[in-house]
Structure 1
Amino acid sequence: MEGKNSQLQQRKDDALPRGTGNLCQWYVDQAENATLRDVEGNSWIDFAGGIAVLNTGHRHPRIVQAITDQLAKFTHTAFQVTPYESYVALAERINKRVPIAGKAKTAFFTTGAEAVENAVKVARAATRRHGIITFGNAFHGRTFMTMAMTGKVAPYKRDFGPMPASVFHARYPNGVTGISTDDALASLHDIFTQDIAPQDVAAIVLEPVQGEGGFHIAPPDFLQRLRALADQHGILLIADEVQSGFARTGKLFAMEHFAVKPDLITMAKSLAGGMPLSAVSGRAEIMDAPGPGGLGGTYAGNPLSIAAAHAVLDVIDEEQLCERALQLGAQLTELLHSARTTYAAITDVRALGSMVAVEFADAQTATQLQQQAMQRGLLLLTCGPQGNVIRFLYPLTIPDAQFRQALDILGSLLNQPRS
């Protein structure tokens, strides 16, 4: 008899467009903390975390309880129609902790792309300029504005026609490909002389650690010089922390690792522990630039998601997840560095806390390792412009024994000579 997974896959292929691709050919039935179980009873250790959404794990009891409590009160009103205190309280909590110079304000939305688009709206309203500069291999979303901002064609831009104008791409520092801080800044000056005058640029948007681009970490001197360049020309600096936020790097926000403070920060993913919620935080005078009604959305700041986010912040603090991110990341990177002595296809290991990646000489090697790991019960994700990087996004709440089990699986796959 045909299995449940294969039956569901046939139904999926018949009912959904092929653009909604899937990594796995199995279907989830239950999940708890760092464990996924499919409809046939098989289980996997989750090192994907819903693509960085589950830093606090699947169904954390504190988050489940917070959602349940809110469910008994109300599920939706639209904040801009009938507001509620929990939204205001969450903004107050984030304003106190976001690495912004001076007084901060925060607005909530639903998706990461929506947060990025609203950050662009705020920047344009505040500066009365139109230009936006992002970086090669960046990922900012799948809506039209964020597609234009994303520095990767396939699969995100291909086939979708002209992108919105006034978006320009600079080079992001990359030690593997030899792009230095000087090279990256030179590319910005090229944009200023060849594409758009600096006085017409509203904002420079960057990920302090590139996500889809391969977990490349911005060099501290690059951020310092970028901040100085932005200040020189009155350009706002926006940090996209959709993937790097909420304890993943060992700090609540990755920008806390650097001396530089951005003008605006976008966040989503692990903000609400699996519930759809995003936010833009920024300097108060900048955030106040759009007029009443200029920011918002029907589902923006949904009460259930807001309740989950309050619980996420509690869990991060009470379970010391920033410290745990550093501890787990150190164990994983030790294994990966050790594996380089026998696994010649490894070309680089990068890490900031538990935002860890290993790069291989080619995509085939990365994909093969990913498939072998899945066969042994470990779910991994690839990334990078060539698809030759494996990124690790395990829940920071993963039990120690299960984390060691995952490292044993990974170590056994890497503990074999490869040319």
Structure 2
Amino acid sequence: MPVLRALPLTSGPELAESFGDLVAMAAGGRCYLPVDDDPDAPDRRLLESSLAVGSPVDDPDACLVIATSGSTGRPKGAIHTPSTLAASADATHARLGGEGNWLLALPPHHIAGLQVLLRALRAGFTPAVCDLRGGFDAERFARDIALLRGPKRYTSLVPTQLRAVLDTPAATAALGEVDAVLVGGAATPPALHRRAVEAGIPVVRTYGMSETGGGCVYDGRPLDGVSVSIDDGVVVLSGPMVAHGYHGRDDPAFAVPGSFRTDDLGIVTDGELRILGRADDAISSGGLTVVPQVVESVLAADPAVAECAVVGVPDERLGERVVAAVVAAPGRRPDPEALRTRVAEQVHRHAAPKQIVVVDDLPRRGPGKIDRAGVRALLESGGRQADSAARG
């Protein structure tokens, strides 16, 4: 059995020194756990300990154990093989229109960033790397795109990075010249997607996770070889890029080989998948179930809202109270009462947030995902707020 080794990866140009290791990994020579190159990074210590670096991986074909982005509990490590990684890269290039080179603008130790590198290397190109050690800089990103060479040019971003690009004219113009930009890691707000399309940016919204080798559904449509089914309201993904399970643990999510039962609620209409939200994010308020992402889609459609998060907080009478944190669009001031009315009319009056707080930023975890536990703590404490309105 292969032995799991830590592979420290930097978020700067020196990452090129690790390309040889990544090529060897994709060929099946070694099994790696990508981690932050900072030896003192809290998540690195946690991952190396929880995923037992140095232990054998119970899959003879394993070449990669990639940490999931779960926010609580013991981290899980999805087991991938050369065949699952190749299937993911090939299906992506087939959907986008052919092999090309990639610009990395995401942390390389998360699945989305790692796949940017693996796709380029599999196609025979040397990927370009943004220096993210000081944070994402849209102006620098624009310069990096200009230097990217290939018959086709691709990159991948999270929604917060896309917003920064759209707020920077030079970056917007540069991104409009690539052949495709994958946007994932979190749901893309409709208003942000419209801005990108109107700016001429070839946005492709992706859905997937570590367990599926990254995005495997693009703009609601499964990649070649991928099938989507709904089991009791929960999304099940099947295909050749699905992981072989979790390192060191059995999990019913992988009960059917080649399939992964997600934690997401969804519906499929005319072959297009729509994610409603995570099953474990659902709020039980007054005996009724409220799916946060459904409420968020209504709030985010308001021009005054740049982004938002809906969570449940303890309530003696209701069990949980629906509350929302919103970030104002530039130059706008959200109207809490108007937002509540919008939700009541389009979803249900019981889903309308009892409190809406305007905040500077939303807490995040991983590459762009909203940290709902952080949002809940922010709202329960009053947080950094510019405005607040509550209704009993």
TM-score, length-scaled by structure 1: 0.36
| More strand by percentage | 2
| More helix by percentage | 1
Q: Which has the higher contact order (CA 8 A, sep 6+)?
A: 1
TM-score, length-scaled by structure 2: 0.38
